[in-house]
Amino acid sequence: MAMWQRWRVLGMGTYGTVFLVEPGDPTAPLIAVKTCPLEKSSSLLLEERVLVQLCGCLNIVSCLGSSLTVKDSTGLYNLFLEFAVGGTLEDLIKKELGLCEWDMRRYVRMIVQGLCSVHGKGMVHCNLKPSNILVFPDEGGVLNVDRLKIVDFELAKEG
């Protein structure tokens, strides 16, 4: 990732802070970057390794690379991920005050397909919850025809 600028915090977790990022190229889409101090980056390194193995899986968030930066004389590890315009499944459930049965069935199917990809590579997610499932508009850009993708593989177990 060449040049980029943090815009705002999307979320904070045990292992890092997720920012919305504007890429240096104005034609490039918005992305998310998960950042943590370099000395605490082992979990993000694991997440990157897992996401590289799962590259191309339809229901797994895409890793767009990583970088090292320095801010206020602190080394930072940055993991770039695709940005979910729809937020998390937890956000969607709260906004809709629940989910109808039809949506639940579609969403469970997508989550299970994602988990099959993870398990098929000999890994386990270990932290699956609505806040770790992202909501993307379908390829036509319509948010009410959602695609769900699993994210946050910092606690994943391999092999």
Q: Are 67 and 103 found together in one domain?
A: no
Residue 76 sits in a domain whose CATH number is 3.30.200.20
DSSP state of 58: T
Res 144: pLDDT: 56
Q: Are 62 and 93 found together in one domain?
A: no
Successive 10-residue mean pLDDT values, the chain, 159 residues: 78 89 84 95 95 96 94 94 93 91 94 97 96 85 74 92
Res 28: pLDDT: 83
Res 2: pLDDT: 60
pTM of the model: 0.90
Using an 8 Å Cβ cutoff, are 78 and 66 in contact?
Answer: yes
Res 5: pLDDT: 79
Q: Are 78 and 11 found together in one domain?
A: yes
Query: Of 141, 128, 47, nearest to 89 (Cα)?
Result: 128
Res 67: pLDDT: 94
